[in-house]
Amino acid sequence: MPQHVIHSRRILAEKVHEFWVEAPLIARKRKAGQFVIVRMNDRGERIPLTIASGDAERGLIRLIVQEAGKSTIEMGRLQVGDFFLDIAGPLGRPTHIETWGNLIAVAGGVGAAPLLPIVEAARAAGNRVHAIIGARSENLMILAEEYARHCHEVRLCSDDGSVGIKGLVTDCLRQWVSEGVQFNQSLIIGPVIMMRETAKVAKELGIPGQVSLNPIMIDGTGMCGACRVSVNGKTKFACVDGPEFDAWGVNFDELILRNRAYLRQEKIALDTMMDHECKIGLATGVAQ
């Protein structure tokens, strides 16, 4: 039984955790755009997480996790030396990378994590990579320095203006194009609403591209169909046909509503955990 021990961990931003985890086979095989499914313990869910990068030599993969509910809050408490019970992967199709020329990568929030390996791969394929990284505010912005290392130019923006330009990634994109830069291809990853709006603007500006979708998944191997998404009017299984799809063709509104399917149960799960911890006197909240 391979043990997926956590070698190091760090807090990148409020409620965003970075882990380097032992998974030698995956570290060797992973390609940009692929993900893993992890289970923390025997009662746990199967949780899809993008492989943010890997270190084949040391047999480690890097996962960046944002607290979204019960499982990810629990994950945020894992410490160095703790382990994941199961890690399956690499799953999904690797990003289709060509030499497009001028590329614009747009990240929203924690989407900067899954986008990073794709940016690296696109750059290695000879593209000129530009990036826009947006976050609600400075304390939620992640990986900006790493982008700076891999991109020809990076622009930051935030809703409150605490970092970079005050405004949304879509404003930033329009601005950049209005300066006369022509982008041949876009890569957009972030919250679904952000991807919907950015894809809309990219289409308006005539920039084709890819988005990476995060539907609810169970097995991640094409066996259950929980991850169905509609792309250009056709049903696709995101875990095996994606997770990346044609930005212009995705039915984002359907995805938004499908991702809300378990809101009530997710709240019950979280409340049960918090309740239980209050009773046994554990501190609640995020790990230090």
Ligand X SMILES: Cc1cc2nc3c(=O)[nH]c(=O)nc-3n(C[C@H](O)[C@H](O)[C@H](O)COP(=O)(O)OP(=O)(O)OC[C@H]3O[C@@H](n4cnc5c(N)ncnc54)[C@H](O)[C@@H]3O)c2cc1C
| Partner from ligand FES, ligand X, another protein, none binding residue 96, C-beta < 5-8 Å depending on class | none
Beta carbons of 106 and 132 less than 8 angstroms apart: yes
* Least distance (Å) between residue 132 CB and ligand X: 19
Site for another protein in 43-102 (CB under 8 A): 43-46, 70-71, 85-91
Structure tokens given for 147: 């982008």
168/160 Cα distance (integer angstroms): 10
Site for another protein in 114-143 (CB under 8 A): none
Cβ proximity to ligand X, 71 vs 170, nearer residue: 71
Candidate list 216, 240, 273, 274; residue touching ligand X; CB under 6 A:
216
Only segment of 21-29, 59-67, 151-159, 197-205 that touches another protein (CB under 8 A): 21-29
3 state SS of 43: coil
Beta carbons of 215 and 228 less than 8 angstroms apart: yes
* Least distance (Å) between residue 255 CB and ligand X: 9
| Partner from ligand X, ligand FES, another protein, none binding residue 90, C-beta < 5-8 Å depending on class | another protein
**What character string, x for contact with ligand FES (CB under 6 A) and - otherwise, covers 185-224?**
--------------------------------xxxx-xxx
**Sheet strands (E) in the chain:** 4-13, 16-22, 35-39, 47-50, 53-55, 60-66, 83-84, 86-91, 102-108, 128-135, 153-158, 165-166, 185-189, 209-212, 228-231, 234-237, 244-246
Burial state string for 22-57 with b = 16 or more CB within 10 A and e = fewer than 16: bbbebbeebbbbbbbbbbbeeebbebbbbbbbbeee
Cβ proximity to ligand FES, 137 vs 259, nearer residue: 259
Site for another protein in 97-116 (CB under 8 A): none
- Using CB under 8 A as the criterion, which residues of the chain lie in contact with another protein when the complex forms? 25-26, 29, 37, 39, 43-46, 70-71, 85-91, 218-219, 221-226, 228, 230, 235, 240, 254, 257-258, 260-262, 265-266, 268-269, 272
